[in-house]
Structure 1
Amino acid sequence: MAFPGTITVTTPDFADRTRMPDRFAAEHEDIAPMIEVSGVPSEAVELALICHDPDAPIPFGWTHWTVFGIAPDQTTITAESGREGVTTKGEAGYSGPLPPPGHGDHSYYFWVYALSRRVEGEPTREEFLRDYADAVIEQNRVIGIYSR
């Protein structure tokens, strides 16, 4: 299915499609925003979160954060909510926005996926989308904007 359905994704840290506060950027405090989720379908066995910047000037964009193994009844997602995977930077954990200076606004999509089966290990964003697309029951996102 994978339509937004009943799942809702928000953050108390910024309004959807507005500028993210500097504290979340790599050149500042580099901390992950708190992501809130509600309306998770009852058949979900796990949640996954991926933060992705499709505006990055590389072919597949830039993955800033992956978290797998999140309990479906979790209403707040933080770094401690599951297993953090590797970002495009090649390191596990959150990697805040750092668009090239003067490159304009970049959009940071914090996608939450409700899954029908558990994610094994810590796949990259591309591996997750390839290997778990058939397990996505619903998905939705909140978008932050950032530029330098």
Structure 2
Amino acid sequence: MNLERTQPPHPVEHLPAAPAELTVTSEDFVEGGQLPQSAGFGFGNVSPQLSWSGAPEGTRSFLLVCHDPDAPCIGGFTHWAVVGIPASTTSLAQGAGMHGASVGAGALTLANDYGTHDYGGAAPPQGDHAHRYVFTVWALDTDSTGLDAGASVAKAQFTTLGNVLARGSLTGTYQL
């Protein structure tokens, strides 16, 4: 029996070229540094201040995701996701992720893995090693994703894959 495959079972679309690099910074923590205690679950759930620069010409909106790849569940844990942040927005104030806060006209906060539409604070298990919280911003060439508040973060990332012009991340840590 010959099990060798000469072509994939389905046509594979080519992914877009590697995006340009955005610079993501925060007034509340530095790359690899500790998130403020207020960013923790039960300590305020206050999203840190974030800024980004270097968006290329043609940027129409941004996608922001905060993800903990060290969470003790398959695929990690998403703490915050916002799609459709206007291209004119290049920073978010501390607390912008709180329920009811605005991150710009037309922006849509998706459900995080807590099931809420806001920033869900860092929550590594008590006594566990420091977890990484990766804040990634994508510059998109569209402001119309067709997504609604019920869309998953994975769907938002997949839907916008072909629209990414630039991407950048900032990683903070948190430990109880």
Same fold per superposition (TM over 0.5): yes
Determine whether 1:125 maps to 2:153: yes
2:12 alignment counterpart: none
| 1:24-83 Cα deviation digits (max 9, x unpaired) | 101211111111011111111110100000100111110000111111121212332132
- Report if aligned partners of 1:2, 1:139 keep a CA contact under 8 Å in 2: no
Distance 1:130 1:70 in 2: 17
Looking at secondary structure, tell me which structure has more strand per residue: 1
Aligned partner of 1:97 among 116, 122, 130: 122
What secondary structure is seen at the aligned counterpart in 1 of 2:24?
Answer: strand
Determine whether 1:3 maps to 2:19: yes
1:24 alignment counterpart: 39
Q: What does 1:1-148 align with in structure 2 at a 5 Å threshold?
A: 1-5=17-21, 7-77=22-92, 78-79=96-97, 80-81=102-103, 82-117=107-142, 118-119=144-145, 120-122=147-149, 123-148=151-176
Query: RMSD between aligned alpha carbons?
Result: 1.4
* Residue type at the aligned position of 2:172: G
Distance 2:80 2:156 in 1: 13
Distance 1:28 1:45 in 2: 35
Percent same amino acid among aligned pairs? Answer: 29
Alignment gaps of 5+ in structure 1: none
4+ runs of 1 displaced by more than 6 Å? none
Normalization by structure 2: what TM-score? 0.78
- Report if aligned partners of 2:64, 2:136 keep a CA contact under 8 Å in 1: yes
How many residue pairs are counted as aligned between the two chains? 147
Distance 1:139 1:2 in 2: 9
